[in-house]
Every structure is written in structure tokens, then in C-alpha cells.
Amino acid sequence: MTPQRPRPPAPRPAPPRAAPRRGAPATPAAGARRAGPATGPVGGAPADDAATSGTPVPGRTGAQPTGRRSGTTPGARTTPAPRSGGTPAVRTGGTPAVRTGGTPAVRTGGTPAVRTGGTPAVRTGAFPVRPPVVSQGSAARFAERARARRRLAWRQIVLVAGGVVVAAALAWLLLLSPVLALDTEQVRVTGAGTVVAVDQVRAVVDEEEGTPLPRLDTAALRTALLDVPGVRDVAVTRDWPRGLTVALVSREPVAAVPEAADVAASAADPQDPAQDPAQDPAAGPAEDGADAEEPAGPGYALVDQDGVKVGRTDAAPEGLPVVDVPVGEARILAAALGVLEQLPDGLLAEIGQVSAGTQDTVRFVLRDGATVEWGSAQEPALKAAVLQALRAAPETAGAARYDVSAPTMPVVG
């Protein structure tokens, strides 16, 4: 009867393996078997004779077949033969494969890799860092929020109050304080000419003394200055901090008109105090039985280029031409004055008298007695050039009459 072979014990199943994390050192699992020299050749070491030969192991019954492979017992793992041309890999039971030659990579059991050092990683750089909590309790946090709101409210109140105080101070400084008040001693008057009384101009400006310059109404002051006799135009500018500049354009007389003509009376400034006593409404009536004062002899009204009376004289002034026009013809006077305004200064100085029956029949009488028929106010530059050329030519220098009303066909007589 053939003896029965004893059954070898069933091999234990290997525990599940967990993939180790990258870069973490591999640690052997607890309870794992160490691979001894009997497991097979590792790193070129020979395996155990009992595992590689056919010699029976003591303590076991039955015949042990011999051969090149060991572990012919059913159910037992055998050690694989080493691979040629590479590092042998040995697997024993649940022991991970170990590769030798170079840096060994050992896989151990199923124990996962564990990072050493319990300090967590802290990210720095562009990521915001949350500020620490000031208070831990809800009541303390609510109190802090209430205090913060009160501080913000007080800050806003202080800012608003400060702005109001600064605005009020600036308003008082600019509009009410004497820092920028007008000082009449710092008022400058220019362009008075020969007919404007500077005292009258200063009398108008003195009414604004003490007024702060930001409150000074320059438009109203200009209107008041235009009422001064002889003022044609005026410009008022502030001279900070307390001064004023008054630039006048005076009405300079360009001709003298006999007062007997109504033209001078109609062209006179209504606020000019230089009036004939007989026409002065402020003069009272003469007493009964008293001899009335005889009016003075006929005088001359001095008019500017606009025909406005700027003065009066008893005798014809030297250097100004006397304009003789029909009574009440203000348009003819304006035409004669327009001709005088367009004449060159050299020719204007030679004119002694101007007369005109209509707007197109202006006549000059030069100071040497020669008569010039000027005609209308058209082509004044050409007429003046022709007249000067005729008076400069030897053949016509001493003529008594020049007609340049048609400048292209002058007549000398």
C-alpha cells in the first residue's frame, strides 16, 4: 500500500498593496516576512541547497523528487530562475519584488507612505493672507463693530464741520474783511487826454471806497464813468489786492463848430455843464426891473469825431478846423467830420476851415488861402495823394483852387 503524502499548508494570501506616494520612502509592512537566503538568489547569491537540490528536507515524510526546480510540492511557489542580462527580481510570498544593481526600488506590503513632520505647507506670494480674528466672542465682535461705526461717524462729522469752517473763513476773507477792500490811493487813471477832468473821474471812484474787490461791480462803475464829460470809453480792471486801474478813452476835439448853428447844440453832451447861461435850466429867472445881462459873443463848440461836444471856446482855436454846415443838419456835420478823420496828419494840419452844403459837396479852405473841392467821402486816400502831388508840382504849386472830387481828372484853377 503506497503511503499518502501529507498535504502542505495552504499559503497565506498576500495583503493588498497600496501604491506608494511619489518621492516618499518605502517602508516594509508590519508582519511581512523577510526574504532570507533560502528564498532564492538575490544579488547573485546562490539559493539554499535544500531548495535547489533534490535532497529531502528533514522532518518531512515521503519522497522528495530531485530536479532543477525546487518546490515541486503542489501549491508551493517556486523561486524563478534569474533573468539573464538584467537584475533578477525575486518574489517570495507577500514580499515585494526587490531589484538590485543601482538604486534599489523596494515595494513593501500595502502600507501607504506617510509624510514625516506634521507642519502643514504654507503658501506665500500672491495669495492674500487672512488677518487674525480680533475677538473670539460674538458679543465682543459686535461691540467692536459698533465702536468702528461710531469712529467713522465722528470722523465724517469732523470733516464736514472743518469744511464748513474753512468755507466760511474764505467767504469772510473775500467778501467782508478789509484785507481786499478798495483803497482810493491805489487807483490809477490813464488816458484822460486834454478834455477829461481827472478829479471828476476820481470822485466817481471814491464812492466805492472800502468795498472788497470781489464784490466791486465793475460794470456799474464803468457806466457811471461814461457819464463824465469827455469820456468816450473806459475799461475798469481790478489791481489786486486793493487797487484799481481806470483806462479812459477821451473824446479829443477834431473841429470847432459855431454855437449859432443848431448842429452844435444837438450834438452837445446833455450832461456837459459848459452850457450857455441862457440855456442853463439851473439859472433862475431875472429879477423884475433889473437889466438882463447881455449874452456873450458867439462862441465855438469843440466836437470830437462823433460830433459830440466836449468843450467850448469864445474864439476859434488854433490847430482845429472850423466846420460850417447848414443849421440843424447833423448828417452833413457827420459827413464833414468823417472826411477829416480819413485825412493824413500832414494834410489835416493845413486845413483851416471846412464847409459843406450837402454830404457830397465838402469844401476845404487851406491856411494859405487855397480852396479844395473835395466832394464826397469816397476814395479819400486817392484824393489826398492827388492833392499833395498837385501842390508839390512846380506848375500847380501856387494855384488858388484844386478840384479833386473826381481824383482821376483833377482840375486846377
Torsion sign across C-alpha atoms 206, 209, 212, 217: negative
Interatomic CA distance for residues 82 and 213, integer angstroms: 114
Neighbouring CB atoms inside 10 A of 381's CB total: 11
* Residue keyed to cell 487797487: 243
Q: Could you list the residue range(s) of the whole structural domain that residue 380 is in?
A: 255-276+299-412
Q: What is the pLDDT of residue 46?
A: 43
Q: Same domain, yes or no, for 221 and 322? A: no
DSSP label of 368: T
Residue 112 lies in a domain: no
Residue 381 lies in a domain: yes
Mean pLDDT of all residues in 63-85: 45
Structure confidence by residue, pLDDT tens digits, 146-186: 999 999 999 999 999 999 999 999 888 888 888 899 999 99
Q: Work out how many domains the chain is built from and give that number.
A: 3
Cell of 298: 458867439
Q: Same domain, yes or no, for 213 and 163? A: no
- State the alpha helices, DSSP H only, in 193-274: 198-206, 218-226, 262-267
Cell of 308: 459830440
Cβ-based neighbours of 269, under 8 Å, separated by 6 or more: 229, 308, 309, 310
Residue 47 lies in a domain: no
- Paired strand residues for 77: none
Residue 317 lies in a domain: yes
Mean pLDDT of all residues in 211-239: 93
DSSP string, 68-108: SS---STT---PPPPPTTS---EEETTEEEE--SSS--B--
Residue 172 lies in a domain: yes
Does residue 106 surpass a pLDDT of 60? no
Q: Same domain, yes or no, for 263 and 358? A: yes
Cell of 239: 489791481
Q: Same domain, yes or no, for 407 and 346? A: yes
Cell of 214: 470781489
List the one residue out of 217, 201, 209, 205 whose CA is nearest residue 182.
209
Q: What is the pLDDT of residue 409?
A: 93
Q: What is the pLDDT of residue 10?
A: 67
Residue 367 lies in a domain: yes
Residue 58 lies in a domain: no
User: H/E element holding 256?
Assistant: strand 255-258
Cβ-based neighbours of 67, under 8 Å, separated by 6 or more: 54
Pairing state of beta strands 322-324 and 351-356? parallel
* Least reliable range by pLDDT among 113-122, 236-245, 360-369, 396-405: 113-122
Q: Same domain, yes or no, for 407 and 329? A: yes
Residue 328 lies in a domain: yes
Interatomic CA distance for residues 281 and 360, integer angstroms: 38
10 Å CB burial of residue 338 (0-12, 13-18, 19+) is middle
Q: What is the pLDDT of residue 42?
A: 40
* Backbone dihedral angles phi then psi of residue 234, each to the nearest 5 degrees: -150, 145
Q: Same domain, yes or no, for 334 and 387? A: yes
The pTM for the full model equals 0.50
Backbone φ/ψ region at 399: left (φ over 0), alpha (ψ -120 to 50), beta: beta
DSSP string, 55-72: PPPTT--S----SSS---
Domain termination site, one of 150, 176, 202: 176
* Residue keyed to cell 480680533: 134
Interatomic CA distance for residues 224 and 203, integer angstroms: 11
Interatomic CA distance for residues 206 and 12, integer angstroms: 125
Q: What is the pLDDT of residue 119?
A: 47
Structure confidence by residue, pLDDT tens digits, 271-317: 443 344 333 333 333 333 334 344 455 788 888 888 888 888 888 88
CATH number at residue 320: 3.40.50.10960
Q: Same domain, yes or no, for 203 and 350? A: no
CATH number at residue 223: 3.10.20.310
Helix axis angle, 330-342 relative to 380-392, nearest 10°? Answer: 60
Mean pLDDT of all residues in 105-115: 46
List the one residue out of 137, 39, 38 whose CA is nearest residue 89.
39
Does residue 104 surpass a pLDDT of 70? no
Interatomic CA distance for residues 348 and 319, integer angstroms: 9
